Structure 1
């Protein structure tokens, strides 16, 4: 899983994120308006092709059309993701406008996601702070016995692919979860997507029927959340990647070594604008998506022996689902079976 062994830099407790960032070429941080807008055009064209394939495909080809469309819509999220990090444009109002528009077809509130996602970047793999695939401790698992623990078991095993839906529903439509200074923007974003849904959903049902609503929205939306759940759990969850307690967490070390580079089928990476090239994104959120591969190459050359690299497969997802259950300070994770057995002893 380790990238290479000939890196020219050494990661020490004194190493800072700035030290790592300095090894990345300056061109990786350049915002290129043409590249940014071409990525928008590409995603719009891919989604249009997907919706056309839904319209004209016979029933037995519809699953492929749904997969194409949902994956293309994931590209919309990645564009909005750049906007949230202000790496799409130098103008904040452009980032906010494009981010909201890109997120609308996903029924995803832009500002609510942006604030929570920024928090994830500040506290990646930090116990008590990170909000992305945070692992329960034994105590938290026991306290949640019932619905909470049962849902947690589902998304940590074979139903990981609904994790993004739960994250979307639980975090981004409740302004009370945010500091007061952020609540106005959070409310604006979720009210906008609710208004969008209240207009578009009835029109879609009226013009295409309930089955049309399922085919044009629900199924691609589920595919989108499958990819979001898969990307995000793989980004930071491996049997040998440790979440850290606050007093042991180190920004440079845990952003570089706690983030996973995973190769997916080429067509997925194209449609999703290289969101899988994730290590440079956690070193600096200022790197636009179209520069991630160049930045990754530089990190690989300079810090490669510390970087975690893998390849997407169903076996990989099974391994995560079989082993990455409950936080353990010594061996990263305990399995549900181990926790259940200790409770019976």
Structure 2
């Protein structure tokens, strides 16, 4: 059974209905997809002011308040990434060149090459939770894990456990600067984005060392950057990882099921949501990347009216992170995940 061109909510939620992604998208209000340049540029201005406030707080804080200043500034810098994220999905501005320009500007302070990330990230959206194809937090098969070299195995076990927050740094370093990871047709854009971040680092890093020294570099750039990567690792892990969220074999994979029910909505403290532009209202974003970040909550409200408790909605907590990092380690074809401990005891 398939749904009609004009979706009926009762039909959509029926167990007999073969859900299609396009039918789910049709249930969303048209306003969700409308770009509002006032809202987009207001978010840019506010974000720049918040980052500026963060750096002022780092400069003004006594040593014992520096961790608070670092956390605030790093979280605000994560908002820079989310602006670049909208640009990568072409949901920031109408013109492609504006999206590319703004994306490069806001990702440069993070030393994140815009096109390198954009190209890889689109693969994640096209193949969410598809085994051997999705490139975001995919669990490794046991036969692959068994044959890893000691260094790679240690890195994998470490970043799947309590040090999950290091994963984003490894991903950034190992994936985004390697030309062979991209198709030949994309090499020009990839080289441009790498050149932008190299130029930024070549100007800003020496300037920091010369003006505020090594400690100043650590204080003003490195520590906020590490906080940013903590949020990048955390957000992307929680977005699609729970003990019962199944990665599907390609022949069994279904786009609608993966995007609607394999994506997690997680509520963070309001100040985090504000600084990061509601990126964790994530289910509508996976249904359509055309929805700008400032319209995600409108789309989410619409989805809740139809699917309600069927959607995966959680509150960010240590308990949630403990559950994920204790259990979600290796691929299991029936049980979704198996932990390192349970696998070792077999």
Query: TM-score band (shorter)?
Result: over 0.9
Corresponding position of 1:321:
325
Corresponding position of 1:90:
94
How far off is 1:304 after superposition?
2.4
Distance in 2 separating the partners of 1:100 and 1:275: 19
How far off is 1:275 after superposition?
0.6
Structure 1 stretches lacking a partner, 5+ long: 1-6
How far off is 1:305 after superposition?
3.9
Corresponding position of 1:62:
66
Moved more, 276-285 or 194-203: 194-203
- Equivalent runs, 1:234-313 vs 2, <5 Å: 234-313=238-317
Aligned length: 336
Contact 1:262 1:310 in 2 (8 A): yes
Distance in 1 separating the partners of 2:167 and 2:313: 23
How far off is 1:143 after superposition?
1.3
- Specify which structure has the bigger relative contact order, considering alpha-carbon pairs within 8 angstroms and separated by 6 or more residues: 1
What TM-score do the two structures reach when normalised by structure 1? 0.96
Q: Per-residue displacement from partner, 1:111-160 (whole Å, max 9, x unpaired)?
A: 00000000000000000101100101101111114111111000100000
Contact 1:263 1:312 in 2 (8 A): yes
1:10 equivalent to 2:10? Answer no
Distance in 2 separating the partners of 1:167 and 1:145: 18
Q: Per-residue displacement from partner, 1:287-313 (whole Å, max 9, x unpaired)?
A: 000000000000111222431000000
1:194 equivalent to 2:228? Answer no
1:101 equivalent to 2:105? Answer yes
Contact 1:256 1:306 in 2 (8 A): no
Contact 1:74 1:228 in 2 (8 A): yes
Distance in 2 separating the partners of 1:255 and 1:335: 24
Which runs of structure 1 show a deviation greater than 6 angstroms over 4 or more consecutive aligned residues?
none
Corresponding position of 2:208:
204
Distance in 2 separating the partners of 1:13 and 1:228: 36
Structure 2 stretches lacking a partner, 5+ long: 1-8
Distance in 2 separating the partners of 1:221 and 1:131: 23
Equivalent in 24, 27, 38 of residue 31 of structure 2? 27
Q: Per-residue displacement from partner, 1:179-213 (whole Å, max 9, x unpaired)?
A: 11111101110121011101110001110110000
CA RMSD, aligned part only? 1.0
How far off is 1:13 after superposition?
6.2
Q: Per-residue displacement from partner, 1:27-80 (whole Å, max 9, x unpaired)?
A: 000000000000000110000000000000000000000000000000000000
Corresponding position of 2:5:
none
SS in 1 for 2:128: coil
